[in-house]
Structure formats: structure tokens, C-alpha cells
Structure 1
């Protein structure tokens, strides 16, 4: 077998992850705070694993989200590990339209799919061999049912008795989540950073990391992370702890599949964003008789220019009014000039609480494809005073 050397491979892996480059547990949980480098490490390990003979299926809840996140991360890591363009093209075929990466030397593949239709995942077959690894990025986005369907995908004999694995990577959310109940409850203790459970019916490991474990962060990165003052977000997103969210704003919502084209009229809304916060565009239907709001479609994307957003919004709305945050009058004007019926809505004093009270009067039904909306609505909570622990009339999202 030919030996391929990767320059500075070990030096480019954060020290906390190095013991897990060759981890063989059937189920592996990499979780913790944001900016801990877990996805970077798993992308690096995935590339080496494929070179060694594994086939990866990498999934997220939606196809759009995977195209903009983990697919780009793996491609970026290949470019870093094989900086010689000729050498890179000799070994790797990167199909961006189908989101399939093939290591030409052994025809092993990394296949990227969204779980918009989990049934379609069943038919995925690599070029050479069977799926040996499923990596679920942002695993808290998927349902228990999704997971069971994915688990069935790890079937068939592997070459050289390669052990099949499922890898979960995520920032923790609430202790009510099925991952916590299924794998962490009774096993995980706060204050630990690693546990494993291996017996006749279990074979899994859990590694928790935070930004403190990522030696590649700059001082400015760390300062930015430490600006967060909300106790819940500091605990969950900075310290990587499972949360119990108090003072939840919305409890009047549920997730349900429905025919998104069955409504006579739709409403549209835009929340401006660019780098840190994404541009968000949604399509909803409102039934005033039944007091129901149906969340039909969402488009979320970071670093989206107006020239890219306008054709999308124009095609979807077809002249209907789009309600926008009035904080960006230049963007609204540009949308109007280019054919979008954009209308700015001013957020006056007390308008946020008024809007929340209005929404609480409705039952909100969210289509499963609107994962970003789900992520946001379940995290809305009332801020607590860090000193007195008193609930404040201020909403944190």
C-alpha cells in the first residue's frame, strides 16, 4: 500500500482531540461550547479515515444547511492538508453539485446529505463498499425518528472488519432533548470532560470541549466569546453545559408536516443579517378564524448580499408585500427599486413585547423543514438578572 504523508497533520489538531483520532467506539459524542474546534477536528479525521478505507455519510437536518457548513469545512480541510494543487487534484475529486467527495486512490467517499426526506437516505450507496461512518453535524436538530432511520443505514459487511460508527457533534441545548435522555442521563456528570460506556449492550464515548480547549483561537476571538452576559447562553453556548431553560417565552407551538401549498394567501417577512446573524426570509400562512400561524418555508443564510437575496425574494413573493425591519432603509430601497414590494416596519418602544403578546394568542404550527425557525423559537426566554437571579421583562433569543 502506498504511503501518503500529510504535512503537519498532528500539529494542526487541537491537543484535546488527538487521543480520539483512532477512536473505535460505535457511537461517539463530541459536544460542548461554541468555538471548541470539534467540527474542525472531525473534518480532519474524516479525511484521513476515508484515505484509510472508510466511507462517510455526513448529514444535517436540511440540505441547504449542510451545503453552507460542514461540506465547506471538509473541502477547506482538504485544501489545507493538500496545499499542492496538482497533488490535491490527483487524489481527490470534489463534486460540489452532488456534494460527494471521492478519494481517487481507493474510491472511498464522503457523501453529504440533508435529512429533508430521511427516506431518501436509505438508498445511498458509495462507489466502493458500504457506509462505515455516519457523522451527524448539529445533531440536536434531528428527531429521534430521524436517528432511528439513519441507524438502519449502517448495514452490510465492511472490508477488513472495519468497525461501523456513528458520530454526533453538537452544542447542547435542553435536558429534555432525546440525546440527553438516551445517552447522557445517569451517565454524564457536570464537571467531567470524558466518559465512556462499554458493556454487552453499550459502546459509546462522550467528549465535552469548550473554547478553552481550542489553542488556535486568537485573543480577540476569546474576548468576543466572553462578551455574552446572559446566564443561560453562557452556560450552554460558552461552557457547553446541558441547559434547563427557565422563563420560556413561547409554549404555543408544535412541529407538524403539512401541505405547504394548501393556503390561499401567504405573508412574507425579512430580518436583515449578514455575518454574525443570517439574513432570514420566511413564508407563513395565517388563519384568523382558527387563530393559527403556519410557518411554511424559511431561507436563512449568512454573508448574503442584497444582489443575491433580491432574485430569491422576488421569485417567491411575486409582488406580494414583504415586511422588513426598518433598521436598514438602504436595503429596503434597493429591494423596492429592483422589483420587491418591501415595506419597512419600525420597532418602536415596547413593540417587541407587543409582538410577543400578539403571537401568544395564536397556535404556531411549524413545518419540519424550518429548522432554523425551530431553533430560534425554542430558545426565546426572558432574561435574568445575573446578580439577583430575578426574571426581567427583556427577551433573549
Structure 2
């Protein structure tokens, strides 16, 4: 029996109607702020896909106990809102929803029950869609195993859908999928991957109280992540006093540049950084960078010379031979006065500044967002920075050593 289903578009948030409802990319990511309607709209799509007789869904969260009061309830409400209750049988005990018109199903499971995941099979056909809700809770291997479950003959494109609020930038989701992402995007698709970012502003069904609660969030981390939908920094991360901003218009007025170099060749990159230090406002502008593996000194020197001109370039003192070679290559190089405690003092100094990063300095942005303190086995934060992926930060510390002295922060114990 065929049903001629007419649905008023006004029941959808417009951004999801445009980018989600007919999206057939293999990998689909829906992320952003709290109350942006991600789960609501995915539940709507799930119900319509199953009703139309083309798809079977497996909906998962990391822990099965959380599914009943989240995903299952969301899908059940969507069935009701779409006025399709007479066509669906909901078994809340087994957590299975079946469309009685075509025997297509929506199955629910937790990733903490791997044996059930392996054996779960729909009544008719194969699983065509897996939706991972709150994907940031899940381990990399678990999601990759889910991807392998999308197999078998099907008339429709199989899809793995991930929905979540972003958390920290060192999460595997960010590393795996967001290389195609640009911060000013709302939607992008490439190589069978699509990413849609939404916030509360994309959800027309919120009340004024809902909006006020989000806009009045006072905690910087929660405001960034849950209000603005941005990847955040928290916990053991060392620097939270930075932002990315295009300051091209005022850059021509900068006259107080600092230049630093951290040596590297094979495993570690050669790193150069250029900044402008506004002492009065305690503001540091990150203007330019070089980060390349495999450069010889006679290859890196001209690149630094081009950016620094005749200005002094403060270099890592661990390689006096490289400093001498830079001088011969007409770079105004000098060795940093490193010593015991210099890293801690440098971090303390930088933490006291407002750091503004030009969008062209992506490598520095990646470093500062992940640079963190060590933690013990119990998760307690130790006052020791992790010596990893910090080459541009080290170069920056060298370049500012004289400024640290003038403000009473010594680079030596």
C-alpha cells in the first residue's frame, strides 16, 4: 500500500532542509552548539527515510543506558510530530521501531555492547545508515568498526552520520575529518564527506528563555563550545588567552616586530615565527610563520631573511653552529639565553598577554590549541609542559626574551 505523504516544510529548520534531508555523502558530520536542532532534524530524516521504504537505521551512543532517554525518545517524538504514529510500531523494551508498511526498521544499541552490535540485523534488507549521536563520547576504533558494518547489497547509498557538540581540538574527530574545514564555513563537502555547523541561531523553535540561557553563558569554554559551536580548549591546555583574527588592515602600522627560530630538520620541523608586541596593551600579534621539515640552513636562511629583513632573529642556542651559519648567510641571528626555568618563565609571560593570531598562521594556531601540561595517572595536572608539537611556541619564547626581562620575568632561575 502506497501512502501519498505531504509534509509542510515549516516543520523543519531551513538549514537542515537544505543541507541534510537529501544528503547522500557517505560520511556526514553535523556539529555545533547546543540546542541547534541537530538531533531533532536527524530524527525527522530517519523517520522519513524508513517510512519511504528505502533505508534501515542503526542509531548508537557510546553507552546503551543513555539511548532510551535521548535518541529513542527523539525519534518517537519525530514520528508523532510527522503524524505517522499509525504506521510505526515502537518496542521500547527491545529498542526497535518498525514501519508496519514495509518492515523497515530503526534499531538502537550502545557501543558498550559490542557483541550485540556485531549480530544486530534488520528484519528486511541490510543496515543502510548508522547514526552516531554524541560522537565525541566514542572511541576511534569503535566508530571505524561501525563503518565496516555498512555492507551488503542496497539500492541506496550507505551513510555514516556523526552528530556532536565539539569539545577539544585534539579529539580524533577533529584530526580525522576537519582538514577540509574552514572556520567561516557553515557547510562544506569534499571527497564524499560533508560537514554542517549549526548553532542555536539555526533553530527557529527555541523560546526566548532558551536563547537567553545560551547567550548569557559566563564560562568562556562553555560559551565557545555550547553557544558558538566552536572546538574548545580546556583542562590541561596551557593557553586559553588567544583568538584568530584577520588584522591585515592594521598590520602595516606595526613597528615592534619580534623574530624567533627553533631548529629542526628530520623528525622536528624548522620553525620561524614573526610577531608584533604591543607593550602598552599587553597584546601580541602573531603575524607570520615558517614550519618545514627537511630544510638545510642555506635553504631556510633566505626564507627568514625575506620575512625578517635586517631585524634581529633570536635562535635556539642548542645549535651554535646553525646560528653561526645563519650569520654567514646574512641573517641577523643571535642565540637565546636559555637556562633552568626558562620554559616556565616564558609560558608565564605569554599567559599574561592577549594573543591574536592571523589566519595565515595555521601551524601556530594548531600548536597553541593543543599545548598542554602533563597529567599523572589519576588525571591530576602537573606543572610540566608536554614537550611535543611546540616548535613555533619555543621560537616565540626565544624572540621575546628581552621583553620578559623588562617586565620582571627572567628567563633564568
Shorter-chain TM-score bucket reads 0.5 to 0.7
What residue is the counterpart of 2:136 in the other structure?
A: 140
1:201-256, Cα deviation, whole Å (9 max, x unpaired)? xx11000000011111111111111121111111111111112336559xxxxxxx
Supply the RMSD in Å over aligned alpha carbons: 1.9
What residue is the counterpart of 2:93 in the other structure?
A: 97
Runs of 4+ that moved beyond 6 A? none
Please show how residues 79-118 of structure 1 align to structure 2 within 5 Å.
79-82=80-83, 88-89=85-86, 91-118=87-114
Please show how residues 160-179 of structure 1 align to structure 2 within 5 Å.
161-179=155-173
Answer yes or no: is the 8 Å Cα contact 1:58–1:137 preserved in 2: yes
Answer yes or no: is the 8 Å Cα contact 2:129–2:161 preserved in 1: yes
- 1:223 maps to which of 212, 223, 240: 212
What residue is the counterpart of 2:174 in the other structure?
A: 180
User: What SS does the corresponding residue of 1:152 show, helix, strand or coil?
Assistant: helix
What residue is the counterpart of 2:146 in the other structure?
A: 150
Give 1 or 2 for the bigger CA radius of gyration.
2
Answer yes or no: is the 8 Å Cα contact 1:118–1:149 preserved in 2: no
What residue is the counterpart of 2:291 in the other structure?
A: none
Task: State the shift of 1:88 in Å.
Answer: 2.4
Please show how residues 127-276 of structure 1 align to structure 2 within 5 Å.
127-158=123-154, 161-184=155-178, 186-198=179-191, 203-245=192-234, 247=236
Higher helix share: 2
Change (3 A) 1:7 1:194: closer
Change (3 A) 1:156 1:362: closer
Cα distance in 1 for residues equivalent to 2:377 and 2:14: 50
What residue is the counterpart of 2:40 in the other structure?
A: 40
Matched, 1:72 2:81: no
Change (3 A) 1:127 1:189: same
Aligned pair count?
242
Answer yes or no: is the 8 Å Cα contact 1:6–1:81 preserved in 2: no
Cα distance in 2 for residues equivalent to 1:81 and 1:148: 33
What residue is the counterpart of 1:11 in the other structure?
A: 10
Which sections of structure 1, spanning at least 5 residues, go unmatched? 250-359, 366-397
1:23-65, Cα deviation, whole Å (9 max, x unpaired)? 1000100000000001100000000000122000000001111
Change (3 A) 1:74 1:246: same
Cα distance in 2 for residues equivalent to 1:209 and 1:361: 36
Please show how residues 21-60 of structure 1 align to structure 2 within 5 Å.
21-52=21-52, 53-60=54-61
